[in-house]
Structure 1
Amino acid sequence: MNLRPLALRIAILLVAAAVVSPRFLAAQNAPPNSAASEQQNVEAALQETSAAAARYDFQTLDDDRPLVLRQQPILRWSNPEVGQIYGNVFLWTQGGRPRIIGSLFRWFSPHTHTSHEFQSLSTTPVTGSSDGASPWKTSDPGVVFAPVPEAGDVAEEAARRLLQMRELARQFAVQSTDREGQKFELRRLAQPVYRYEVEQTTTDLVDGALFAFVRGTDPETWLLLEARRTDSGSAIRWEYALARMNSIAFSATHKGRQVWQCEVMPFPEVGAHESTYTSFLFRRP
């Protein structure tokens, strides 16, 4: 019997095994499906933040009516540029107007903590509490409205007003500057994250919408657009306000002209819970 062909075939099989084996073993030892794991993290963050949002209670200085939490988040976001982080944005309204906005998020990697950040969208001071504590009390308005330059007349039909608000939002641009001085052009979401549900008893407000400027899908700045009656009540005009959703610096322009800016907030100021933007950190084991 000629053993040379048999020996040759055995040698070829051994070489093939040596080449294939590492990939085969890697596949056998691969972590669970990353898409399924990510979805589990998304759902875990949603359940945790929804339960936390329901425990907050807010009040405004100028109105005794309770603020109403919208049960579903108006925006769900992540930021894969910085890690595995999943957040949900909740809105508290009063008479259909946004008053408090909160972005509650959980880290899975490289950090493990949970944060609740809030921004007042009220024109008067606000107070906030959770589970009976009173951690947040402001002395300033969260937003200040101004007429939108060259905005034109407010349409009578609701559908046309939405088109107008989308067009007006496109006229704004926002840039952020982080604590290291790096600048980012924020992306405006094309659709509003919230269209006002104006109550019929409201006398000064006709319509409104809330737009987000984001990094990834993480909201960094809010733009409020409202069709409001003037003090005399004889005319209706478009007005806007901008608000931060981070402690870094921001600058906004309208048709290339700067109309708003805010400087970096020192961390002690953020943690004092007396400013119109604040954040609470909850460490996890």
Structure 2
Amino acid sequence: MHHLLIACPLAVVLFLTVGCRTTWAQEASGQQPANGSSDQETVKAWNAFYQSDAENAYRFVLQPGDIELRLDPTPILRWTNPLEQGDIHGAVYVWRKGGRPLVVGQLFSYLNNRGGRVYCHAVHSLARDGERLTGSRDGKVFWTPDSPGVQMHDLPMAPAPAASRNLRLTQMKSFSRRFSAYTEEASRGKRNLRLLTTPLDRFPENALEEPDGALFSLVVGNDPEVILVLETKNSAAEGEIWQYGLIQSTRSTSVALLDDKEVWRYDANEKTASDRSSVYLSVHGIATLPLEAPRSPAD
């Protein structure tokens, strides 16, 4: 998902956790959470710092309506990427309007070669046509995506959404297996991604008439590189139908296929991930942290 800009052969990365929660994606991959340290008190201190930063420093507002999005209280995934230098780890958070995810964001860090830690964030918009997002950190605007974050398409050869929530989940798991993806880099060439058929996120049940849906991840290790969005939609012509969309979660060129036919591509040569107007923003070095966890994000 994230490629270190500094070679750090002795790097130690902080793994964001909340309590002893094991995410769906971890269960699907069979991977256990990594502490990144044998000192449990140190781990707890870093966990508290990251959780506090997600809760207190970040704010996302949706227009029209000036609606502040709600952060899920725990991360939807804790990930590792054993193929990257620095033993990098991270956590994925979701900010919602009602039950629908509008922002998928990450906080992660790694040890630099100067006795400190490089703090990073990455965010992706799931806003649709007619919606606009603004992201701020510590009261300062850092992200103003200038276009819809995901394009949804009717899923071909898909039965109508089932009547029950459990059966709709079964349908989505089946649909997800029709998708595959890979990344391309000059240094590595083509790298096929692995689908986790257990959802990264399931839209919560809501009394409002909102779509049902889920996010699925295509991964290296259990680090999402491409995210698949599946959700229901009421169509005037066809009634309730299934739709899909795809978003990137890496700076690398990424390609997704449906039934072995290319349906989506993110070309890293044409996009700048550090551009604040991009729907996908990834910035390394938003802060340099000391070796010991600060008591609060402001320390």
Query: TM-score, length-normalised on structure 2?
Result: 0.76
Partner of residue 37, structure 1: 37
Q: Which residue of 1 aligns with 2:228?
A: 223
Task: State the partner residue of 2:245.
Answer: 241
Output aligned runs, 1:197-276, within 5 Å: 197-202=204-209, 205-230=210-235, 232=236, 235-264=239-268, 269-276=272-279
| Contact 1:179/1:264 (8 A) holds in 2 | no
Which residue does 1:184 correspond to in 2? 191
Q: In 2, distance between residues paired with 1:35 and 1:211?
A: 25
CA displacement at 1:109 relative to structure 2: 7.0
Cα offsets for 1:20-40 (capped at 9, x unmatched): xxxxxxxxxxxxxx9782575
**Alpha carbons of structure 1 residues 270 and 38: separation in structure 2 relative to 1, 3 Å:** farther
**Larger RCO of the pair (alpha carbons < 8 Å, separation 6+):** 2
Q: Residue deviations 1:206-262, cap 9 Å, x none?
A: 4111111111111111111001111x2860000001001112111000110111111
Q: Which of 87, 98, 105 matches 2:90?
A: 87
AA in 1 matched with 2:70: V
Structure 2: runs of 5+ lacking an equivalent: 1-33, 291-299
Distance 1:226 1:46 in 2: 32
- How many residues align structurally? 248
Structure 1 residues 167 and 113, CA gap change in structure 2 (3 angstroms) = same
Counterpart amino acid of 1:283?
T
Write the distance in 2 (CA, Å) between the matches of 1:65 and 1:168: 32
Shift of 1:201: 2.5
The DSSP-based 3-state class of the residue aligned with 1:274 is: coil
CA contact (8 A) 1:187 1:213 kept: yes
C-alpha distance 179-283 of structure 1, shift in aligned 2 (>3 A): farther
Q: Deviations over 1:184-217 (max 9, x none)?
A: 1111112112111243222xx4411111111111
Structure 2 vs 1, CA of residues 170 and 130 (structure 1 numbering), >3 Å: closer, same or farther?
A: same
Alignment partners' CA distance in 2, 1:119 and 1:206 = 20
Distance 1:136 1:273 in 2: 5
Contact 1:119–1:276, Cα closer than 8 Å, also in 2: yes
Q: Which residue of 1 aligns with 2:153?
A: 146
Deviation at 1:61, TM superposition (A): 2.2
Q: What 5-or-longer segments of structure 1 have no aligned partner?
A: 1-33
- Is this contact kept in 2: 1:126–1:138, CA < 8 A? yes
Conservation of the 8 A alpha-carbon contact between 1:80 and 1:216: yes
The aligned residue for residue 107 of structure 2 is: 104
Q: Distance in 2 between matches of 1:169 and 1:244?
A: 16
For residue 133 of structure 1, the aligned residue among 140, 143, 152 is 140
SS in 1 for 2:162: coil
Shift of the alpha carbon at 1:116? 0.5
Counterpart-to-counterpart distance in 2, 1:141 and 1:193: 21
| Equivalent residues of 1:45, 1:106 under 8 A apart | no
Of residues 61, 64, 68, the one that matches 2:63 is: 61
Name the structure with the higher helix share.
1
**What is the match of residue 172 of structure 1?**
179
Aligned to 2:79: 77
Indicate how the Cα distance of structure 1 residues 68 and 273 shifts in structure 2: closer, same or farther if over 3 A, else same: same
Deviation larger for 251-260 or 104-113: 104-113
Superposed displacement of residue 146, structure 1: 0.3
CA distance in 1, matches of 2:52, 2:186: 32
Give the structure 2 partner of residue 7 of structure 1.
none
**SS of 1:270 mapped into structure 2:** coil
Q: Write out per-residue CA displacement over residues 126-145 of structure 1, whole angstroms, 9 at most, x where no aligned residue.
A: 11001110011011010010
Q: Give 2:169's aligned residue.
A: 162
Partners in 1 of 2:228 and 2:39 — Cα distance? 30
Q: Percent identity between the aligned chains?
A: 32
Corresponding residue for residue 52 of structure 2: 51
> Separation in 1 of the partners of 2:182 and 2:141?
33
Cα distance between partner residues in 2 of 1:66 and 1:84: 35
